[in-house]
Chains A and B, each alone.
Chain A
Amino acid sequence: MRWIRTIIVSLCLFAPAGYAMAQTLDDLAYETVEPPRIKLGESAILRVTSFGRIKDVTLPIIPGLVFEPMGRSQGFDFVNGSTLPATFFSIRITPQFAGVFTIPGLTPSSRPVGLEVVKGDEPNPYTWHSQQPTPAPVPIGSLPKGVQLQAGGAAFVHLAIPARPIYVGESVPVEIDVGLRAGIVTSVNGLPTLKGSDFTFNNLSKQPERREETIDGGAFILLTWHSALAAVKPGDFELSAEAPLTVKMSTLSAADRAVASRLAYPLLQSMYSGVAPKEMTIESSPLQLKVLPLPLEGQPDKFSGAVGEFRASSDVAPASVAAGEPLTLRLHISGAGNFDRVDSTMFDHLDHWKTYPAKSSFTPSDAVGNEGEKVFEQPLIAAQPGEQSIPGLEFDYFNPNTRQYEHLQTPEIKVTVAASLASGLGLNSASATGAAAGLRPDHRLPQGSVSELRPLYFRALFLMIPTMLALLLAGSWFAVRPNAARATSKAAKRVLAELDAAARAGDSSVFFAAAKRVLLQSFAARWQMPADQITIAELKARLGATAEDLERLFAIADETKYSDDQSGGTDFQRWIGLIRDQLISERE
């Protein structure tokens, strides 16, 4: 019984308090006008935020202002760092004349708000007090057609592609819009992705376009990414986009939320602030895209697969060159389309010009590379001086708008080619010829090769060969004994001349003395023994019968040396013959 009494007492005490808290929450509401100052002809948004159970608000009647209800939505509002369920009413206010208006509170607890309407040419009085520009009013937008809010009304993703059929290879721009309710979506966890097979996608623009809009009475941040897609084969395909997000979601059940809505602010609200971030991926509605094949009829031979709308022009730089000096011929292809398939080989061959392979560069003018300019550059070298002409360049592409192949041709370019550069630089004749004719042609495939570029005579291994050879030959030179006969031949000639002179003079003493000396020297060199050790016996032993004549010659020499006997003078020629024979036999 006691506890029943306790309950009754408690009810009596707390019921009025609970009712009061509920009534307080029902009455809690506030209004905002954005922007608070507008020009005549513009509109402002009156936003009523109610934390109670208000179903509707009554529009006020104020002369000069027209109120249009825009809608009612439910969500969360953040008050003092806490999330509370709230109901939002959006009302568009359009002024009819300038002035300062006071809009009364549309709920019992909301305060009046003011709206200032100025004429279009009226200066802004606030600029006297602040250098900060007046923030632009948040434009009012609406959800794209066929798009629904996802993640509890916190976000949406919209994919925009051309509605018309596209052609295989055609590059078409794609837009991905992601709308995020301010304060509810806490982060975008990566770039949106396109889902669809049989397509190639360009990279998304690095930084999305960001703008704010009021959609369904709620503030939304709209992020727009751009890309381009191209179909690789014909057919009917589906395409969609998805974006990863983190959204603040209520973790409370419906019953808990009902209880929470009854709680007075700020009392006990923390017990029911069951809002937690949740990662999720939202996806756009799939779109149908029809891809047509490129027509085969009328397809040019040089068609490279370029699809789009292009313009072509060409130029050269410099406009005048010397023969042998390179110039650059440029082909500019600009417009919109699949620039990765825009290709041109320029000139493979050109009379009076030496051509080189062309290279290209692309400069996009939009974020996704669907529009821009591709420039082909080809170096050319004039082979001969004079007024030269470069024919126009051609480019073929398929225009998806006209649905036919287009042919572009640039006009012919005149170039003045001066005399050879090489002659001006004073090059030798060989190089001048080379300059006039451009580069000389390649050689045949190389036959032999070396493993090192360093010349042989600077390699240590090779230097060993001449060193060893030189040492070997030097050793041989020292090892080989000089030819004795050669050493004595000159002396023998000299002595023979001396003997002839003595014979002609009839001087036998000089003749025989010289004869004996040269013969002994000759024998000594031949037999490798001292001359004074050569005896008659030695001569007989070595020369045999010839020794007798030599013995007699030596005897006469001794006789003439110690006497004045000149008897042998008539035999001078015989003795000279004998001596010459001995000297010749020695050399042989």
Chain B
Amino acid sequence: MRTGKIPMLITGLALWAGQALAQTPQPTYSADGLYNQANAYARAGKPGLAVLSYERAALLAPADPDIIANLAYVRASAHVPVKPLSRFARLAEAASPTVAAWLGVLGIALVGVGLVAGRVAARFLWIPGGGVLLGVALMVLAAANAMLLWPRLHEAVILIDQAPARVSPAPMADTAFVLREAESVTMTAEHEDFILIRSGGGLTGWVSRANLGAVLPSD
């Protein structure tokens, strides 16, 4: 009996491994890879795709000076206005979102442990007190990082020049205004193949889904 089960087990494992290998691999992203890809697009004269890739790279490494510099450079070359980052934003984005997320977890742990330790300790109460303060600071840092990054998750980049923004989500609808290539817009709603956007100047209109790329891909 036992000798019969082992080959079956091996066969089952082999089938499972085969199925696992046959699954479509998920796309992987890296800040350096996206940055290099953006550089390639910029050299090829495609500022829209370049800015999109830089923005995606900035999601992973917002404090990377090369990404910041090249993003500003390509936007300036494409005559797209550049919003300078505030000091608070630069401070909050000093850490990558991944690091900030784990720092936030550490902050929660420090606060919790500090409170529990303070409850049970009778002496050296400054130690749990300091831990709580440090934990709160880390949590604030993570929250600020997340708050600054949140709007970017709903941003998109215009991929073609003179992209029409229409008054309604229909191909034959009147053009309300046109958008420059590489311009960043905020997505507020969607309807079939059109996305309602708000431009940097506060104008709203429906843009064809094919004419823009979301900073956060829908996967």
Taking beta carbons and an 8 Å cutoff, which residues of A are in contact with B?
A: 324-326, 356-357, 379, 421-422, 425-428, 430-431, 433-435, 438-458, 462, 465-466, 469-470, 472-474, 476-477, 480-483, 485-486, 489, 587
Contacts and interface: CB of A to CB of B under 8 A. Distances in A.
Given A422-B76, A466-B105, A472-B112, 17 more contacts: A422-B72, A425-B82, A427-B84, A428-B84, A446-B30, A446-B33, A447-B30, A450-B98, A453-B56, A453-B59, A455-B153, A456-B98, A457-B101, A458-B153, A476-B112, A476-B116, A480-B120
B22 to A, nearest CB: 18
Interface in B125-159: 142, 145-146, 149-150, 153
B49 interface: no
Given A379-B45, A443-B36, A451-B28, A470 B82 contact: no
Contact of A477 (B30, B31, B35, B116): B116
A440 B43 contact: no
- Give the interface SS of chain B, mostly helix, strand, loop or mixed: helix
Nearest to A451: B26
Contact of B28 (A434, A441, A450, A472): A450
Interface of B: 26-33, 35-36, 39, 42-45, 56, 59-60, 65-66, 68-74, 76-77, 81-82, 84-85, 97-98, 100-102, 104-105, 108-109, 111-113, 115-116, 119-123, 142, 145-146, 149-150, 153, 216-217, 219
Most buried by B among A433, A472, A476: A476
A587 to B, nearest CB: 6
A378 to B, nearest CB: 10
Contact of A430 (B36, B39, B68, B111): B68
A580 to B, nearest CB: 16
A455 B97 contact: yes
Given A456-B102, A462-B101, A466-B105, A422 B36 contact: no
Nearest to A425: B76
A326 B72 contact: no
23 contacts: A379-B45, A427-B76, A428-B84, A430-B69, A431-B71, A433-B69, A439-B73, A441-B39, A443-B66, A449-B29, A451-B26, A453-B60, A453-B216, A454-B153, A457-B145, A457-B146, A466-B108, A469-B108, A470-B112, A474-B112, A477-B112, A481-B120, A485-B122
Contact of B122 (A442, A454, A474, A483): A483
Contact of A457 (B32, B33, B59, B142): B142
Most buried by A among B65, B73, B74, B115: B73
Contacts of B32: 443-447
B30 A431 contact: no
Nearest to A328: B45
B24 to A, nearest CB: 12
Contacts of B35: 442-443
Nearest to B146: A457
B179 to A, nearest CB: 19
Contacts of B150: 458
Contacts of A457: 97, 100-101, 104, 142, 145-146
B43 A439 contact: yes
A458 B147 CA distance: 11
A447 B32 CA distance: 8
B121 A356 contact: no
Contacts of A326: 45, 77
Contacts of A441: 39
A586 to B, nearest CB: 10
A469 B139 CA distance: 13
A431 B76 contact: yes
Most buried by A among B27, B42, B65, B119: B119
Nearest to A436: B73
